[in-house]
């Protein structure tokens, strides 16, 4: 029996405060989506009422068991559907991922002045979805269109009421999770249709793909939202969702849940370099709990034309057009204006990350574009003490460095909830002179 994979968000499947100045520093590690299990990714290109959605998933299992049902706000024609390359989202993930950077202390005996650096084709509809049309009408279900796009067979469905649609899906070999009727009914009341896709195994084999490629949909709607409720019905535990919003105007935020900036520009001990993944997971979990598990977190907001420091190069104009950034001109210069040089301009990227379930996120995500183009990134800093030969009285530098190392240890404990004494035991305090616990104000030790 085929498994119905109801979406965790549009295109998501689940398996059966800072300044705008340059940050500089050397990039040494990043927190990409691979740090989290069940991590789904969506790219939202938005300008006016035009939206292009690219939907990646972390489906595990045989592709014959893959299916996706996506609420969509309008009828979708064949030319509005495309299949993308996974490398596009992998590049976008790498470019926007929170990062760890390092600085090296200069020789304390040398006077120096710190300087900031400015820095697809269609084919006839597959017979996979052919059913008794009389039965469809009896259930109030209408197959408005059927397409073959790449390796996917796709239906556009409308329905008069949720029970008929669920019965239709059941009779067509989908396994419907309990509670789906209520959620489906709420989408029908909004006059939404359903985009249904599953893999055509023969077509996939002929194309030579072994992994599921992202699906893309382009449409017009005044609603700027992402349905996530269906995906919580047959999910085991919390799911991770990453939203990459590409706009002209500026940062994107949610309107029905708090959008919170993660702590950033914080100095942490040197050993975090080898444990950055564990650090980031624990820090994100603690921040989620602090927001009562009901917040959407901002991890990155930046002009696509540059980065500082760069965890990956900005996406090219060709890559952005492939993701649906329709306002960029192609290589032919169509549009009558001179083509802008690489890297592409006039694109602002927002990366949002949410860990959600039905209890804490009972509503779909609703977004709005803002005019805020202030740069922000999840950025964590290690500062390496000077280890060369010192030919002057550097006692003041050494004392200041030990104090800094203690602040870094406390920062790490506060961000992650890790035990402060265990952190101190791993910090190579300069000169191996460790702070006296008794000299630390008592109130700093109460909740650590």
The residue-averaged pLDDT of 221-247 equals 85
Question: In angstroms, rounded to a whole number, what is the distance separating the alpha carbons of residues 108 and 92?
Answer: 40
Please check the confidence at residue 283 and state whether its pLDDT lies above 60: yes
Question: In angstroms, rounded to a whole number, what is the distance separating the alpha carbons of residues 290 and 285?
Answer: 9
| pLDDT range class, residue 138, cuts 50, 70, 90 | confident
Strand order in the sheet with 99-104: 26-30, 99-104, 379-384, 266-267
**CA–CA distance from 408 to each of 73, 284, 386, 402, 423 (Å)?**
49, 18, 16, 10, 10
- Confidence (pLDDT) at 26: 75
- Compute the chain's Rg from CA coordinates: 25
pLDDT digits (tens, 9 = 90+) for 381-398: 999 998 888 888 888 888
> What percentage of residues in the chain have a pLDDT greater than 90?
46
Decide the pairing of beta strands 379-384 and 99-104: parallel
- Confidence (pLDDT) at 205: 85
Among 219, 266, 166, CA closest to 47: 219
Report whether 9 contacts 227 (CB < 8 A). Answer: yes
The DSSP element (H or E) to which 151 belongs, if any, is none
Question: In angstroms, rounded to a whole number, what is the distance separating the alpha carbons of residues 316 and 314?
Answer: 6
- Confidence (pLDDT) at 430: 85
Range among 178-187, 262-271, 328-337, 386-395 rated most confident = 262-271
């Amino acid at each position: 029996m085929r498994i119905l994979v109801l979406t965790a968000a549009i295109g998501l499947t689940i398996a059966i405060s800072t300044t705008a100045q340059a940050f500089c520093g050397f990039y040494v590690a990043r927190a990409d989506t691979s740090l989290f299990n069940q991590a789904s990714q969506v790219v939202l290109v938005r300008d006016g009422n035009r939206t292009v959605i690219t939907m990646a998933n972390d489906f595990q299992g045989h592709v014959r068991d893959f299916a996706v049902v996506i609420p969509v706000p309008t009828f979708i024609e064949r030319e509005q559907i495309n299949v993308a390359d996974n490398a596009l989202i992998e590049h976008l993930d790498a470019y926007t991922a929170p990062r760890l950077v390092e600085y090296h202390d200069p020789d304390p005996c040398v006077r120096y002045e710190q300087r900031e650096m400015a820095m697809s084709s269609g084919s006839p509809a597959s017979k996979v979805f052919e059913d008794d049309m009389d039965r469809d009408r009896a259930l109030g279900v209408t197959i408005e269109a059927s397409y073959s796009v790449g390796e996917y067979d796709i239906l556009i469905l409308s329905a008069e009421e949720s029970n008929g649609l669920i019965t239709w899906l059941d009779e067509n070999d989908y396994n419907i999770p309990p509670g789906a009727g209520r959620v489906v009914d709420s989408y029908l009341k909004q006059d939404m249709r359903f985009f249904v896709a599953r893999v055509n195994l023969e077509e996939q084999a002929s194309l030579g793909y072994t992994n599921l490629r992202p699906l893309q949909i382009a449409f017009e709607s005044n609603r700027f939202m992402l349905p996530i409720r269906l995906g919580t019905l047959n999910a085991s535990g919390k799911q991770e969702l990453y939203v990459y919003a590409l706009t002209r105007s500026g940062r994107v935020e949610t309107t029905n849940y708090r959008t919170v900036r993660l702590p950033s520009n914080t100095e942490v001990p040197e050993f975090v370099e080898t444990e950055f993944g564990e650090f980031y997971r624990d820090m994100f979990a603690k921040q989620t709990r602090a927001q009562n598990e009901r917040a959407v977190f901002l991890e990155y907001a930046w002009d696509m034309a540059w980065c500082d420091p760069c965890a990956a190069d900005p996406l090219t104009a060709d890559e952005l057009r492939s993701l649906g950034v329709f306002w960029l001109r192609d290589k032919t210069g169509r549009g009558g204006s001179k083509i802008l040089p690489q890297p592409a301009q006039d694109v602002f990227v927002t990366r949002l990350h949410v860990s959600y379930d039905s209890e804490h996120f009972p509503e779909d995500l609703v977004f709005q574009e803002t005019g805020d183009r202030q740069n922000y990134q999840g950025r964590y800093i290690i500062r390496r003490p000077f280890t060369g030969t010192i030919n002057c009285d550097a006692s003041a530098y050494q004392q200041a460095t030990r104090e800094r190392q203690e602040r870094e240890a406390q920062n790490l404990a506060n961000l992650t909830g890790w035990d402060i004494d265990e952190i101190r035991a791993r910090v190579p305090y300069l000169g191996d002179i460790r702070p006296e616990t008794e000299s630390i104000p008592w109130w700093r030790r109460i909740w650590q």
